[in-house]
Structure 1
Amino acid sequence: MAEKIRIKDIAERAGVSVGTVDRVLHKRPNVSASALKRVEKALEEMNYQPNMYASALAYNRSYKFYCLIPKHASEAYWDEIEMGAMKAIEQRRDFYLDLEIMYYSRLSPDSFIETYKKCLSYNPDGVILVPTTLEVTRQFTDELHDRNIPFVLLDSYMPALQPLSFYGQDSIQSGHFAAHMLMLIARQETTIMLMKQTKDGKMASRQQENREVGFRDYMKNNFPEVKIVEVNLPLDEEKKQYDGILEKFFSKHPEVHHCVALNSKAHIVGEFLLKTKRHNVQIMGYDMVHKNADCLRAGSISFLIAQHAYQQGYFSVDSLFRAIVLKKKVEAVNYMPIDLLTQENIDFYHRSWVQ
């Protein structure tokens, strides 16, 4: 083990007082240029490595982070992000970290603008953000840059916004993967169903748009003869209307035996299939939320693609902590694994590697 270097040792080597060394180490004023140069030289010669955790604790200040995510029902994908973020805060409570979750309506630019303006009024130390459209999100992130407030993007990577970090899947590659896995079991099919949810013709996120791009690209290049038939379950419809839409679809398309949902709502179709006893139809979906997991265990969903929402929430807080509190460099782009869950392995899918 390397010998601990004391401030007294540094002061003796540099020929300055202990107080001068302390001011240099904590970047305080009132240090002459010559003294600063001697201390920095001594630090280099002694290969001094500061204890960033101890320094941060000694600084004894509090930090408030804000997380802006879409409004959602309970047990949704976003719940996992919230739980992961709160776990990271809990594990760093000695550093006086706090996190507030703020919600906006994803398909309402006005809701997003109202929420981010409220966030800015609180003078956050750092922000975690699920973006809406590039144009509207840029209004917020430009202001964050102007105020030197670091922010982390989740869900959709928009490099033009220049975030501190991004956590999420490579959406295009994820769409390729979904198509590849689906067609391993649907190779003989002539038609597959693509379940979508839109409002006023708009998808809920760029992530889902990019997944669809990747999905269709793979199908075009490898299975151009397979017809993709869409069914839309509008976001602004009452859930009880969905059964009627799905009944009409499957009555019109009895040839469809395989479906894909590129969002976390595959369970809407899965529950319908179980209720109507359509055991000859299988679904591929996204996200290990409870309702999807139940359908996977019951057999109406064949596969779920997991994107580690809990870890995304956890590591987004960790990035802000390391950059703001510990003054460390963090990785800019962090693509999450693309995991495939089945009946056989779903019960072994845990969050434990960040707890």
Structure 2
Amino acid sequence: MSSNKITLKKIAEIAGVHRSTVDKVIHNRPGVSDAVREKILRILKEKDYQPNFIGRALRNQENRKTIAVVSSRVNSEPYLHQGIQQAVQEVGVFGYDVEYYIFDIEQIDQQIEMLYTLAHQKINGIILQALYDARIPGVVSDLAECGIPVVLLNFDHPGCTDALCYIGQDSRKAGRTAAHLAKAFLHGSGRIAVINGYYEKILNIYDRCSGFTAYLAEIAPAVEIAEIVDSSENAHDLYHAAVDLLRRQQIDCIYATSSGTEGIGKAIGELGLQDRTHIICHDLYPEILRMLREGMVWATLSQDLEKQGYLAFQYLVYYLLKGIDPPSKKILIEVDIRLKENMPET
């Protein structure tokens, strides 16, 4: 019987289950017992429903592959994981499971230890979002020697030449873009402050800040960078950093290089400076969209975190399944400028 003569509804009737259960099995989604899953897969094969797709799924039931996602507990992490999970649902029937290992900011030693532990387990590939540490390139090289490809996600690491690829944004370019916006909003003159989060631990933050300050000095010499403040991604810490700054200095614009920007917005609001001091920041978190809508945020630069996660899993699976290399060693996500006028609908 050809695939165009059998429907999901008919498969469900034969198996004695609801159509949605068959759909879950086809897309390898949770919520179906092993016995029911095996029964439906057997019927799909017998009825020749999508034979190549299902045949591969049946073969992989006894030979599933595992991809480990090793990430840092920062604000971008859940959005990256959403993108990974979307890709997992699309290709999961090909026999890939995902294990997540999430570490706090201070746990870089434990994160590296876990990478070596995974090298001795049945892990086929790793998606790595690690904070800066000089040991990371060596760890990635060791994993490559063990035949375990590593995709660097969101955080790049200089010297990681043995990584399969890096997927993320050109952070220096993002900083330069923010500088161009600051010049435009300030009409070429004014006082600006930069507030960083985890400046020494996340190279993306360093690159945003250095790209911003260097380019702003070049294109807008009349704009004074009054102060550069190093803090964290924690909104509470950023709130206190902003309060201290704004009580000491008259600031027209704050460039926030990391997340936690709602803490800066809270400080501006409580000090009654919302008509004077504005923010240029990054990402499309709900609290940032709220401040963008209210006019406190002039502009935010999106890096499409979900897309980064999706591509990381997709390219790793392509490599493991078909031996296809990513199109480049650096898969760069474009800087997407969002203003109040073009903010995404919520």
Check whether TM > 0.5: yes
SS at match of 2:194: strand
Structure 1 residue 233, shift from structure 2 partner: 5.8
1:284 partnered with 2:283? no
* Residue 302 (structure 1) aligns with: 298
**What are the within-5 Å matches in structure 2 for residues 71-150 of structure 1?**
71-72=73-74, 76-133=75-132, 135-150=134-149
Contact 2:171 2:205 in 1 (8 A): yes
* Residue 64 (structure 2) aligns with: 62
**What are the within-5 Å matches in structure 2 for residues 6-17 of structure 1?**
none
| Candidates 191, 204, 213, aligned match of 2:201 | 204
Change (3 A) 1:229 1:115: farther
Structure 1 residue 133, shift from structure 2 partner: 2.9
Q: Deviations over 1:15-65 (max 9, x none)?
A: xxxxxxxxxxxxxxxxxxxxxxxxxxxxxxxxxxxx996885575231110
1:203 alignment partner AA: E
Structure 1 residue 240, shift from structure 2 partner: 4.6
Separation in structure 2 between the aligned mates of residue 184 and residue 107 of structure 1, nearest angstrom: 38
Structure 1 residue 210, shift from structure 2 partner: 1.1
Contact 2:136 2:157 in 1 (8 A): no
SS at match of 2:131: coil
* Residue 179 (structure 1) aligns with: 179
* Residue 270 (structure 1) aligns with: 265
* Residue 315 (structure 1) aligns with: 311
Q: Deviations over 1:66-110 (max 9, x none)?
A: 1111113xxx32211000001111111211211112122335432
* Residue 234 (structure 1) aligns with: 231
2:69 alignment partner AA: C
2:201 alignment partner AA: A
* Residue 190 (structure 1) aligns with: 190
* Residue 220 (structure 1) aligns with: 217
SS at match of 2:341: coil
Change (3 A) 1:124 1:229: farther
| Unaligned residue ranges in structure 2 (runs of 5+) | 1-50
Separation in structure 2 between the aligned mates of residue 149 and residue 56 of structure 1, nearest angstrom: 23
Larger relative contact order, structure 1 or 2 (CA cutoff 8 Å, min sep 6): 1
Structure 1 residue 115, shift from structure 2 partner: 3.0
Contact 1:271 1:295 in 2 (8 A): no
1:329 alignment partner AA: D
Change (3 A) 1:135 1:243: closer
2:252 alignment partner AA: H
Separation in structure 1 between the aligned mates of residue 123 and residue 177 of structure 2, nearest angstrom: 38
Contact 2:235 2:262 in 1 (8 A): no
Structure 1 residue 293, shift from structure 2 partner: 1.5
2:156 alignment partner AA: Y
Structure 1 residue 294, shift from structure 2 partner: 1.6
Separation in structure 2 between the aligned mates of residue 82 and residue 122 of structure 1, nearest angstrom: 22
Change (3 A) 1:149 1:56: farther
SS at match of 1:322: helix
SS at match of 1:334: strand
1:339 partnered with 2:341? no
Separation in structure 2 between the aligned mates of residue 63 and residue 112 of structure 1, nearest angstrom: 22
Change (3 A) 1:52 1:167: farther
* Residue 37 (structure 2) aligns with: none
Contact 1:56 1:325 in 2 (8 A): no
Q: Deviations over 1:2-26 (max 9, x none)?
A: xxxxxxxxxxxxxxxxxxxxxxxxx
2:134 alignment partner AA: E
Contact 1:165 1:331 in 2 (8 A): no
Separation in structure 1 between the aligned mates of residue 324 and residue 241 of structure 2, nearest angstrom: 52
1:338 alignment partner AA: V
TM-score when scaled to structure 2?
Answer: 0.76
Change (3 A) 1:159 1:324: farther
Contact 2:188 2:223 in 1 (8 A): no
TM-score when scaled to structure 1?
Answer: 0.74
Q: Deviations over 1:117-165 (max 9, x none)?
A: 3433433101111233352112321221111111111123346322212
1:341 alignment partner AA: R
SS at match of 2:221: coil
* Residue 13 (structure 1) aligns with: none
2:331 alignment partner AA: N
Contact 1:106 1:112 in 2 (8 A): no
2:268 alignment partner AA: L
Change (3 A) 1:171 1:52: farther
Separation in structure 2 between the aligned mates of residue 233 and residue 212 of structure 1, nearest angstrom: 11
| Candidates 324, 328, 353, aligned match of 2:324 | 328
Change (3 A) 1:244 1:336: closer
